[in-house]
Amino acid sequence: MSGGPVAGNAAGRGEIAERRAFLRAAERAAYRRARLGDLIYAAPFIGALLLLSPMARAFAKPVTIAGTPLIVVYVFVVWALLIAAAALLARATRSQAAQPGRGDPAASDEDNAGGGSEPP
């Protein structure tokens, strides 16, 4: 008699452990999505701070790189880095949204398209 309830409790504990692991993974994914969203909103402000006068003035020296003033090189490097960061952030958001169950309405529509909800 004692074998049944113990075996049932062990199976129940296994299910609970799996459920907790799933919830922890879901919480981590939600946290990563939230931080990515924060970074997307912060990126333009970071770019503006890098291009504002006090930061740019640090590079306004009579130094040239291949005949180009240092300030011009600085502005174009910051500009290129902002474009690269925007591309990486766009790719990261697209890849997270494309994973099933992560809020991509297109993925759920594709899954339901072949579901046979219409009669033949």
What is the pLDDT, as a whole number, of residue 78?
93
pTM of structure? 0.57
Pairing of β 68-69 and β 64-65 = antiparallel
DSSP 19-47: HHHHHHHHHHHHHHHHHHHHHHHHHHHHH
Cα 77 from Cα 83, distance rounded (Å): 10
What does the block give as tokens for 12?
A: 């129940």
What does the block give as tokens for 3?
A: 């074998």
What does the block give as tokens for 68?
A: 């180009």
pLDDT tens-digit map of 9-55? 666 677 777 777 777 777 888 888 888 888 889 999 999 999 897 88
Q: Which one has a higher pLDDT value, 56 or 11?
A: 56
pLDDT tens-digit map of 69-90? 999 999 999 999 999 999 998 8
What does the block give as tokens for 45?
A: 């402000």
